[in-house]
Amino acid sequence: MSQLLILGAGGQGKVLAEVAEASGNWNSIAFLDDRHATLNGTLRWPVLDGVRHANRFISSYSHAIVAVGDSTMRLGWLTMLASSGFEIPRLAHPTAWISPSARLGAGCVVMANATVQADTMIGQGSIINTGASVDHDCRIGDGVHVCPGVSLGGDVHVGNGSWLGIGCSVIQGIHIGGRVTVGAGAAVISDIADGLTVVGVPARGISGGLE
């Protein structure tokens, strides 16, 4: 049993706290958030201080993780926490299925009813959200957000910092670049170059086509 500090006390932070509680692996959970003066007392967990003061709590909280939507900020804060001496955990809800052969980077979160299948690799600080399905041999980069209800076929590659919107589907063998945004409900059937935003069925670039 250990102590967990969560950076960010918004909606994602509350979900992470409940995932941590459900796992039964933590005897103390608290937040850091720059809105601590107004948030403390409004949640079931204490909001101790602002994010920049994280290193003050290294003696009382052994582990820390980040709950913010912006992938650049999330990865930056994870680096800061690790350099301060915190252990960076991987969190998974008890209802999630994670293959024993899958590998998850530090700071990854797998939400309720999500699935991560055989020989998949997920980079640090990535989110596999509620009910998402990641099939065998996928390669998910750092800071990726796989939103609720997303379905990825086998051997899909997703570059760093990409956002796969709610309910989108990606057929097997597709390569999605870094910093890509896939719109909610899109069907991806062709590779996507870095930095594009794609929407629709089949998915097409808003300001340009697919590769």
What's the token pair of residue 7? 């950076």
Which residues are bridge partners to 153 per DSSP? none
Q: Is 175 a catalytic residue?
A: no
**Long-range Cβ contact pairs of 167-172 (< 8 A, separation 24 or more):** 168/203, 172/135
- Residue in 108, 105, 106, 153 with CA at minimum distance from that of residue 128: 108
Helix or strand holding residue 38 (H, E): helix 36-39
Catalytic residue among 93, 136, 145, 157: 136
Beta bridge partners of 115: 97, 133
Residue 175 and residue 157 in contact, taking contact as beta carbons nearer than 8 Å: yes
Q: What is the DSSP letter of 1?
A: -
Q: How far apart are the C-alpha atoms of 100 and 120, rounded to whole Å?
A: 10
- Our measurement of the distance from residue 80's CA atom to the centroid of its chain's CA atoms, rounded to an integer in Å, reads 17
Residues in the chain: 211
The Cα–Cα gap between 59 and 137 comes to: 39
Q: Looking at this protein, which amino acid is placed at residue 132? A: A
Task: Give me the active site residues, please.
Answer: 136
